Structure 1
Amino acid sequence: MRIDPFGLERWFAEYEHEADIMLAESGVRSLSADRFDIDPGELGYVIPTDGDPALRGTIGERYGRGTDEVVCTSGTQEANFLAFLSVLAGDSPPGLSSSTSGDAHAVVVTPTYQALHAVPDAFGDVTRVPLEPPTWELDPDAVAEAIRRETRLIVLNNPNNPTGRYHPLETVETLYDLAADNDAYLLCDEVYRLLADDPLPPVAGMGPHGLSTTSLSKSYGLAGLRFGWLAGDRAVVEAACQWKDYTTISPGIFGQHVAEQALEQSDTILEQNRELVARNHEITVAFLERHGLEWYDPVGVNGFVTVPDGFESGKEFCRTVLEAESVVLAPGEFFGHSDRFRIGFGLPTDELEEGLARIGQVLEG
């Protein structure tokens, strides 16, 4: 197995710890722990290790799924990883044609978070279907053309990271039908879905060929919990549970304890976070207009912005901002677009305003 280094995470590892402001963050500002009861009792394993049945049942209801069709994970990253292992690595779950890691194929819509194409590429073969600027619109016909006899998975991130494009329900349903017609699954990473004013139905609720992954990291502002889940076909979830025996074994007891409370407060938390995102979005739009920069108006907290004149690439611009003003941005090279950079605007408003002011110093200097 060979997998490419995770470029964006290595960039963060090198720079984010010493920088003053993190404007490449892709989630909503973190909630304080004092909002919750943080005493889970004895610090043993979560039993059963796929998550508390009552909690999995609560999560499953959101997808029209049963308790056994949800596995709790360490964030969305593990949920996606387990889904890829379950569908692409070795024998496929029941209900799909048998496959080996050498011939399993995935179709991945890009640009996207690197793990969504690098991990399946390590297990099998990947065909990327590119979204094109400036609208980043997804053409289902391009996905259809990319499908092969050995295709086991179509991968989508909606709303999209880094562009903020929210593909409409009709498009997602077409992708689901393509997956079903080809005896494959549609996996949708939906970490930003609940930040939309009118969220689309989750893919796992569309039928047996839909898989949804998400977590409390992005929309809820609880990244430190490392709590997420995979919801969908029971065969895939059962396979994921067996793979999970070799990864984290069970969710963290603290994460699950707070996750239960966060889901009980879901309406309040999400309303507050949407208000913050809407306010910060307006501030960011005004900044971009003031400096002649462009993006596709995003859903969520990520925008993919054109590199200013005078800079040859996203990396050059981001490194200049970092060195001059101690602000971290995400170069577009890590998403396959060197003429752009990703900005996150979900952080506290005062930090966002300070970070934008510092970028303005670079642009006006």
Structure 2
Amino acid sequence: MDIEPFELERFFDRFEHDADIMLAESGIESRSTAEFDTDPGELGYVIPTGGDPQLREQVAARYDRSGDEVLFTCGAQEANFTTFAALMGEHAVTVAPTYQSLSAVPDAFGEVTTVDLDPPAWTLDTDRVRDALRPETAVLVVNNPNNPTGRYLDEATMRELYDIAAANDTYLLCDEVYRLLAEEPLPPVASFGEYGISTSSVTKAHGLAGCRFGWVAGPSEVIEAAANWKDYTTISPSTFGQHVAKQALDREDEILAENREQARDHCERVDEFLADHGMSWREPTGVNGFPTVPDGFATGRAFCEAFVREESVLLAPGGAFGVPDRFRIGFGLASEELTEGLARLDAFLTRRV
């Protein structure tokens, strides 16, 4: 089993430690531990290892499913990995551009066909998705809202994708880590029917990346197979992460209201900045956007490397998502950091004129 190097993570590894400002962070600003009770008691395994049954029932309710149809994991990354390991046979279809693991992991188990969103609005031609499916296609993969573009496919499109997948006896897996940052979140894919699978976490929308707490919701046979793989990865979710995540989910309305307001305000600021500097994007849902590279740079990588070296502010090159003439900007960080990051970007671009 071979897997491609994770290009985005390798790029971050080169620069993130020494950069003053992370302007490519893909989630909302992290919350303080001071908001939570941080004493879970004994730091043993979570028992049962699939997660606290009462909390699983609470999470399952948002998908119109039972607690046995939810598995708690160490972040959405493990939720996706164990689900792909459980599902993959010969073939998968992934909508791109997307977070690399959503294509690289299934590709490590079988073969992946990608169907590209069409810029600049990042629309999806569902007929192309239908044409990409094969009789042996195990899973159709979508990230909605999308990382890196911020495109939020509407409910009609998502239900059409579900119908296309179900008619082919194929599961539709949707990574929904940004769903709850939307002002009006769509129903989750796991609530669509027996072929629907949703993965998510408290990382991106709740600001709790350090909890490493996520989940997969879907049909019982998928959950059981993913749990079998999880026995070979982390065994159980984090005791500490589950303890804090439960408190966050109990306060979810309050936390999400604050985070959506911050995301909305920051998005407006970045939109104005980009327009002032001759760059364009499709205004995103969530806290990631995918602007065009500024004039004078051949690729997003050249731009991002020059910027971090001169101004110690890190952006993400679009090439890490297969789109070399774009870059990803994350605007969920603290307001004062966003202000400083944009000021340094302004100074950098002004020098280049």
Q: Same fold (TM over 0.5)?
A: yes
2:194 alignment partner AA = P
Give the superposed CA RMSD.
Answer: 0.6
Q: How far apart in 2 are the matches of 1:279 and 1:165?
A: 18
Q: How far apart in 2 are the matches of 1:294 and 1:320?
A: 20
Give, in angstroms, the shift of residue 71 of structure 1.
Answer: 0.2
Output one character per residue of 1:134-185: Cα deviation in whole Å (capped at 9) or x when no partner.
0110111010000001001000000000000000101000110011111110
Q: Following superposition of structure 1 onto structure 2, how do residues 168-183 of structure 1 map, counting pairs within 5 Å?
A: 168-183=154-169
2:53 alignment partner AA = P
Output one character per residue of 1:15-50: Cα deviation in whole Å (capped at 9) or x when no partner.
101100000100000000010000001111100000
* 2:191 aligned residue: 205
* 2:3 aligned residue: 3
Q: How far apart in 2 are the matches of 1:131 and 1:283?
A: 26
1:232 alignment partner AA = G
1:150 aligned residue (136, 140, 153): 136
* 2:348 aligned residue: 362
SS of equivalent to 2:158: helix
Give, in angstroms, the shift of residue 233 of structure 1.
Answer: 0.4
Q: How far apart in 2 are the matches of 1:156 and 1:266?
A: 25
Give, in angstroms, the shift of residue 305 of structure 1.
Answer: 0.6
Tell me, yes or no, if structure 1 residue 125 matches structure 2 residue 122: no
* 2:70 aligned residue: 70
2:336 alignment partner AA = D
Q: Following superposition of structure 1 onto structure 2, how do residues 43-122 of structure 1 map, counting pairs within 5 Å?
A: 43-88=43-88, 101=89, 104-122=90-108
SS of equivalent to 1:18: coil
1:224 alignment partner AA = G
> Gaps (5+ residues) in structure 1?
89-100
* 2:180 aligned residue: 194
Q: Following superposition of structure 1 onto structure 2, how do residues 225-236 of structure 1 map, counting pairs within 5 Å?
A: 225-236=211-222
Q: Following superposition of structure 1 onto structure 2, how do residues 240-279 of structure 1 map, counting pairs within 5 Å?
A: 240-279=226-265
* 1:20 aligned residue: 20
Output one character per residue of 1:172-206: Cα deviation in whole Å (capped at 9) or x when no partner.
00110011111110000000000000000000000
Give, in angstroms, the shift of residue 14 of structure 1.
Answer: 1.1
2:30 alignment partner AA = S
Q: How far apart in 2 are the matches of 1:181 and 1:313?
A: 40
Q: How far apart in 2 are the matches of 1:314 and 1:290?
A: 19
* 1:38 aligned residue: 38
Tell me, yes or no, if structure 1 residue 222 matches structure 2 residue 208: yes
Q: How far apart in 1 are the matches of 2:206 and 2:222?
A: 26
1:87 alignment partner AA = L
* 1:349 aligned residue: 335
SS of equivalent to 1:191: coil
Tell me, yes or no, if structure 1 residue 283 matches structure 2 residue 269: yes
Output one character per residue of 1:214-237: Cα deviation in whole Å (capped at 9) or x when no partner.
000000000000000000000000
SS of equivalent to 2:290: strand
Q: How far apart in 2 are the matches of 1:337 and 1:244?
A: 33
Give, in angstroms, the shift of residue 132 of structure 1.
Answer: 1.7
Query: Which consecutive segments of 4 or more residues in structure 1 shift more than 4 A?
Result: none
Give, in angstroms, the shift of residue 363 of structure 1.
Answer: 0.5
> Gaps (5+ residues) in structure 2?
none
1:86 alignment partner AA = A
